[in-house]
Amino acid sequence: MPSMPAIWICPRRRLVWRRGPRPRIVQPLVWLLSIEDQLQVLDWVHQQQAASTASTHPVLHRIDPTRCFAVAGHSMGGRSSLESAAVAVAHRIGAAIGIHPDPEISAANRVGAPFLLLTGTADHVEPTGSARADFDALTALPASQRAFASFVN
């Protein structure tokens, strides 16, 4: 298998609401921002390349503008990857990875990019079986473009 260089571009955002004695994350807000963050990062890379500023950027000059991008995320980021892959063509997403994704069956039947879904028995946050339900709902993809792995700890 040939080696494929990867450049990870991650948005930086602190999404914690402080009400009461312990910090709380408000899930719907975080989830929406996470999807928005993934797509905004891709749009920003496209804009930099279109403006020819990528050639002077310390990292962006290494990105081949003729190739597709991949999105990946864990938990809410995994759910965001499902949502982002549903608009794959518009953002040149060629692959997506969800690691222990939040349940998101509604987007799964619209995914338009090859998708890898990873989970495991040590995940005590997401409901048991929810990752498999997400995978089973990937009906828009042929079997050759989707994969599921559940690791037993």
What pTM, to 2 d.p., does this model score?
A: 0.75
102 — phi, psi (to 5°)? -60, 150
> What range does the domain containing 104 cover?
17-151
Is residue 111 within 8 A of residue 140, CB to CB? The reply is yes
Q: What integer pLDDT is reported at residue 90 of this predicted model?
A: 87
What is the CA angle 124-73-148, rounded to 5?
70
Using the predicted structure, report yes or no on whether residue 76 has a pLDDT greater than 50: yes
- Domain at 35, CATH number: 3.40.50.1820
Nearest to 139 by CA among 118, 112, 117, 102: 112
* Within a domain: 12: no
Nearby residues of 145 by Cβ (< 8 Å), 6 or more positions away: 113, 114, 115
Q: Where are the alpha helices (DSSP H) in 2-151?
A: 27-50, 76-85, 105-108, 130-136
- Give the pair of three-digit tokens for residue 46: 């496209």
74-78, 92-96, 106-110: range with lowest mean pLDDT:
106-110
Burial 8-35 (b: 16+ CB within 10 A, else e): eeeeeeeeeeeeeeeeeeeeeebbebbb
* Residue 30 identity: V
Nearest to 99 by CA among 122, 124, 127, 79: 79
* Residue 93 identity: I
Partners of 16 in beta bridges: none
> What total number of domains does the chain contain?
1
Using the predicted structure, report yes or no on whether residue 5 has a pLDDT greater than 90: no
> What is the per-residue pLDDT across 15-65, written as a single tens digit (0 to 9) for each?
444 444 554 444 444 445 577 788 888 888 888 778 777 677 777 777 777
Q: Could you tell me how many residues make up the chain?
A: 153
Nearest to 105 by CA among 122, 88, 129: 129
Q: What integer pLDDT is reported at residue 1 of this predicted model?
A: 34
